[in-house]
Every structure is written in C-alpha cells, then in structure tokens.
C-alpha cells in the first residue's frame, strides 16, 4: 500500500498556493481537519491529503453579542469548553463522529460545519446552517474569498455560509468561520415514558412538540437497544420555574399513556449524549443515517426489522439511525427511505459495500444537475475530492 501524500499549508497564502497548484496539475485533494469522518465515503480514492491544522485559534468571541469567530480547524471540544465557561452554547448541538468509529475525540469546528452535524436540538433550534454567519476560505480555483458577516443581521450579497454548510469540503476549504451562539439553559429536565412501541412513540413525540410545553428535543430508544425497555424521551429547557411548570404539563398530558419518570440535569445530559452519539448502536454492522418526515420514523423501523435492523429515533422520528448486519447491501434501506419521502446516507460499513454503492442518497436528476453547476462554479477542475460520494 502506497502512503498518501500530505500537504500541510501554514496560513492562507500557502493554502492558496497549494490549491492553485493542485488545480493547475489536476491533482485531487482530500480536505481533512481532525479526521473523525475520514472513513465516511468511498475508500481508496487517488487523492493528496490536505491537512488543515494551522487554522486552530479562537479569533474573536463577543459573548454579549452572541457571536464567535474561530479558525476552521479549532477543536470542537475547545469551543464548547470556552462557551460553557461563559454559560453559552452552540445551539445546534454538534457531536464528534469519532465515537462512531472508535476514535478519540478530534472533531473540528470547520469539520462539523462542513458535514452539517446537528444534534438532538436541531428540530427546534435549527441546523448548522441556521447558525453559520460568515466564513473565509479558498475555492477549488485557488482563490481566497469571504462570505457572510460577523453580525447576526446580514442581508448583503449571496448567503455563502448556507451553501458551504454540509458541502463536505467539495466546494471550498474553509479557514475561518463565524457562528451565532446562544445562552445555555439554566435548567434541563427530561420526561421519559416507558414501554411505548415505535408508532405510539412517534405520536407522543409529535404531540409534545406541538404542545405549549415547548419541548426542545424528542427521541425514542426501542426495547431491543435499551435492555428490553423502550424509552421515549422529551427534553425541556429554560429557567427553573418554567421548566418545572412545563414538565408538569407533559406529565398531565401523557401520564396516562405510559409510566413516566423525570430525569434531573445530570441524568438527562447522559441520556442525550447517548442518543446523539448513537452509543446504543455501537459494534459490528452497517450504520445508516436516514432522514424522513417525523411520523414516518416508526414505519422505517417496521420495514427494516425483517432485515435484522436495530434502530434509534431522534428528531421526534425524523432521524433514524439504523444498524444492519454487515451482509446488507443497502438496497432495502435506500428503497424504504425513498418510498417514505426521505434519504439515507451510509455512515459506517465494510469496504466492499462502500465501494459498491454511493455513500449519499442519489439525487433527483434536476437537483443533481443544479448541484453540479454549483460545484463547477467553485471547483471547475474538480480537484476537491470529487469521488468521495460516488
């Protein structure tokens, strides 16, 4: 096996030069920060590794204005620690993909933005793109550019941050990012209902989110991944008197549907960490991330059970994590997701499977054509890892 060539630019000027030279030679680049998601995508691609590690400082943090600017390779853990010290947070609740691959925590701020990583609060607080205000970067043309601004209210020019979020480094190499941050909730409690099946859980989660209880997140752990006891979790956040009142509201509304318990802050945090890092589905198998309309989450589980799937529901059923036997070829997952108006992404699987099917759900022809036009505009020589998801 030939070692992969590595470029380590030090600063924007060297990055511009490296990308420009690669474009001139037709040299394909794989952009990498912490490397926690490097196993997602087609293996064995003929690329040079563009290691982005020199952009790892907090540049500006204005707590009163709820805005933070940092280098794209700044460790996510460092950002979260800084914000926690100031009673603030990244409201889209990103998590480190390293746990999915047995790797130590190493996710970077730019990496979670590029991969569009949003946790359990995404359904109510918005996704990465909704909190991404501005950036600096280098396009596949080898040209430095900036987009957005360092203020929350910005209406000038194209909204490039939303375009770059979830682009997986295939449009540009981000060097600096600006995000909106929010105050951390004073109190967090979780109401857990025991023994509901998947359809009952989706119904309860939907009703809870539409209620006046202002539920921040909703998830369901089926019995087969939770020691034989199904749990449906409803998280409430805010000032202590408000949370207590809203918890009581939830108990009164759903207490007759199933046995209920209330988890205090520490136990609540542990449960949600397990949900969004998909800990109940660790181990051997092929891991899929399936997005469907929330009420369709139960249908996904029912249709995939004959294939040996074990599943976890987040986003009130709109996000299904599914672990299937390694012998699964992915056809059933993609067929079920498509039939229910959703899409499925292969997160972890054997090399043979990753070589045989596209990692991302195939796009409709019109969307695929538009996507390609955008890529051609940013990266006309197709040097930014174009085969990763083919």
Do 209 and 352 share a structural domain?
no
Do 191 and 176 share a structural domain?
no
Q: Over the stretch 178-207, which tens digit does the pLDDT of each residue have?
A: 999 999 999 999 999 999 999 999 999 999
Do 84 and 135 share a structural domain?
yes
Task: State yes or no: pLDDT of 62 exceeds 70.
Answer: yes
Do 198 and 177 share a structural domain?
no
- Domain of residue 312: give its range: 279-356
The H or E element spanning position 233 is strand 231-238
d(CA 52, CA 33): 5
pLDDT of residue 327: 81
pLDDT of residue 6: 92
Domain total of the chain: 3
pTM score, two decimals? 0.94
Do 324 and 202 share a structural domain?
no
d(CA 372, CA 99): 32
pLDDT of residue 1: 42
Q: Find how far residue 226's CA is from the centre of its chain.
A: 23
Q: Which residues of 327-356 are buried (b: 16+ CB within 10 A; e: fewer)?
A: ebebebbbebbeebebbbbbbbbeeebbee
| DSSP designation for 331 | H
Residue 380 in domain: no
Q: Over the stretch 284-294, which tens digit does the pLDDT of each residue have?
A: 899 999 999 99
Across the chain, mean pLDDT equals: 94
| Band (155; pLDDT cuts 50, 70, 90) | low
Q: Which of 151, 184, 217 is the C-terminal boundary of a domain?
A: 184
Do 198 and 148 share a structural domain?
no
| Band (283; pLDDT cuts 50, 70, 90) | confident
DSSP string, 160-212: HHHHHTT-TTSSEEEEEEEEE-EEPPSEEEEEEEES--HHHHHHHHHHHHHST
Do 192 and 179 share a structural domain?
no
Do 92 and 20 share a structural domain?
yes
Cβ contact 83:89 at 8 Å: yes
């Amino acid at each position: 096996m030939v070692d992969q060539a590595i470029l380590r630019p030090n600063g924007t000027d060297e990055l511009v030069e490296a990308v420009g030279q690669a474009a001139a030679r037709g040299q394909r680049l794989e952009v990498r920060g912490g490397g926690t998601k490097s196993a997602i995508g087609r293996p064995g691609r003929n690329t040079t590794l563009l290691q982005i590690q020199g952009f790892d400082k907090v540049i500006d943090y204005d707590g009163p204005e709820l805005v933070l600017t940092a280098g794209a390779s700044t460790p996510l853990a460092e950002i979260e620690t800084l914000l926690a010290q100031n009673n603030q947070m990244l409201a889209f609740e990103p998590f480190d993909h390293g746990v999915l691959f047995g790797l130590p925590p190493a996710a970077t701020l730019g990496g979670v933005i590029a991969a569009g990583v949003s946790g359990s609060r995404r359904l109510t607080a918005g996704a990465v793109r909704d909190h991404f205000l501005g950036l600096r970067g280098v396009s596949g043309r080898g040209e430095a550019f900036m987009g957005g601004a360092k203020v929350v209210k910005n209406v000038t020019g194209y909204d490039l941050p939303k375009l770059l979020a979830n682009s997986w480094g295939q449009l540009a190499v981000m060097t600096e990012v600006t995000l909106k941050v929010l105050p951390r909730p004073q109190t967090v409690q979780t109401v857990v209902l025991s023994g509901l099946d998947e359809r009952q859980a989706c119904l309860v989660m939907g009703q809870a989110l539409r209620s006046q209880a202002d539920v921040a997140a909703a998830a369901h752990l089926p019995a087969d991944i939770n020691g034989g006891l199904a749990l449906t979790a409803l998280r409430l956040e805010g000032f202590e008197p408000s949370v207590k009142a809203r918890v009581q509201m939830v108990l009164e509304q759903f207490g007759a549907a199933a046995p209920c318990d209330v988890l205090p802050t520490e136990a609540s945090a542990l449960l949600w960490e397990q949900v969004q890092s998909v800990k109940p589905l660790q181990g051997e198998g092929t891991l899929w991330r399936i997005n469907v309309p929330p009420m369709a989450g139960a249908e996904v589980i029912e249709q995939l059970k004959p294939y040996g799937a074990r599943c976890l529901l987040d986003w009130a059923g709109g996000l299904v994590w599914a672990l299937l036997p390694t012998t699964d070829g992915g056809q059933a997952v993609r067929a079920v997701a498509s039939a229910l108006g959703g899409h499925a992404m292969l997160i972890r699987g054997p090399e043979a499977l990753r070589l045989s099917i596209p990692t991302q759900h195939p796009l409709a022809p019109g969307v695929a054509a538009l996507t390609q036009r955008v890529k051609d505009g940013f990266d006309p020589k197709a040097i930014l890892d174009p085969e990763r998801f083919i």
